[in-house]
Copies of this chain bind each other. A is one copy, B any other.
Amino acid sequence: MIPPVATIADVAREAGVSIATVSRVLSPGRDPHPVSPATAQRVRQAARRLDYVPSALARGLASHRSGLLGFVVPNLADPHYPLIARGAEDLARSHGLSLLICNTLGDSGRLAEYLRVLRGRQVDALVVSGGGSLSPDDLLALARTGLPGVLIGRPAGATLDRPAGMIAWPWVSVDNRAAAGAATRHLLGGHGPPGSPPRRVAHLAGPAAQTTMTDRAAGYRDAMLQAGLPAEVVATDGSAEDGERAARALLRRPPDQRPDAIFAATDRLAIGALGVAIDLGLPVPDALALVGFDDLALGAHLRPSLSTVAQPAEELGAAALRLALARLAGEAVTPLVLPARLVVRASSANS
């Protein structure tokens, strides 16, 4: 199956040196070995002439470094994760590392299976996205691999200065709480000219099993508390379907008890709510202002276009990979929180 290709011995012969020297020139290991410039030159030319590509298999076996990284994702079909993967992958590639993508579908059994595969492939490190929805058992399984790892998303129970339970892995995440607070305050203030009464803002919350979602709900509560207003949080599963259901319940109330603004924990929920508002003939944003979260590509093209919170998804992936590389290099690393950005569009425009 493997095409006949040049090996290190071929290059050594062509350059008139030993295979050790070829290795030293072409793969300067951890502590680079001195090689005379003239020899290095000859080796490089020989390698080019033979179109030599070192065998990652042999290299990994000999060096105890596979150059492979495990990248765990709950669901590749969720547009959030491919962006993260891309950020991680770009950086990995520039370091000569490859990503082994593991799509767990949020299933602990599949995660465990993958960890076994990754062990067999001797990956050098792990980057685990969806860290905010891992169970204690999942975290334990990760810790047990003994591999250096980084989480994307704050694991349940962890704070900036206290790791979660068994696992001492660092994590990177977006500041969901602060961004949710900003989105809520934007809605509160956006009813009309300065001095108008604040809107009645309700929150469509995502699954409580994800810290991402509970952090967004917390940010909403922060803002409501600060404004001295009652919070109203409706639990959902985060889907557009459930957004419709939840919004319908809310918006069918008599006008004086009805929220006139909704901060939704996901764009999907917001899109569901938008559909219901249209069905009920409630003008958006006048009768109902809406802000989602995630900045789905299509949100800008809806009528009205959807306000949202945009996350630096690629940077999350890149940052996680940077931390993983640092851990591989033996450096100490700490959690990292990146800011998110409120994107105001027509669905919450000030009138």
Q: Which residues of A contact B (CB under 8 A)?
A: 1-3, 5, 53-58, 60-61, 64-66, 76-77, 79, 81-83, 85-86, 89, 93, 98-101, 103, 113, 116-117, 119-122, 124-125, 145-148, 240-241, 244, 268, 271-272, 274-275, 278-279, 296-298, 300-303, 328
Contact = CB atoms under 8 A, between A and B. Distances in A.
A57 B60 contact: yes
Nearest to A272: B301
A271 to B, nearest CB: 5
Contact of A303 (B103, B124, B275): B275
B116 A2 contact: no
B79 A77 contact: yes
B124 A271 contact: no
27 contacts: A1-B148, A2-B64, A2-B122, A3-B119, A3-B146, A57-B66, A57-B121, A58-B61, A76-B82, A76-B85, A76-B86, A81-B82, A85-B101, A85-B103, A86-B103, A93-B113, A93-B117, A98-B100, A99-B101, A100-B100, A240-B297, A241-B301, A244-B301, A271-B298, A271-B302, A275-B302, A275-B303
State the copy count for this chain.
2
Contacts of A113: 93
Contact of A298 (B86, B101, B122, B240): B240
A54 B301 contact: no
B103 A89 contact: yes
Contacts of A93: 113, 117
Given A79-B79, A241-B301, A268-B298, 8 more contacts: A1-B64, A53-B119, A56-B122, A57-B57, A85-B103, A89-B103, A100-B100, A244-B301
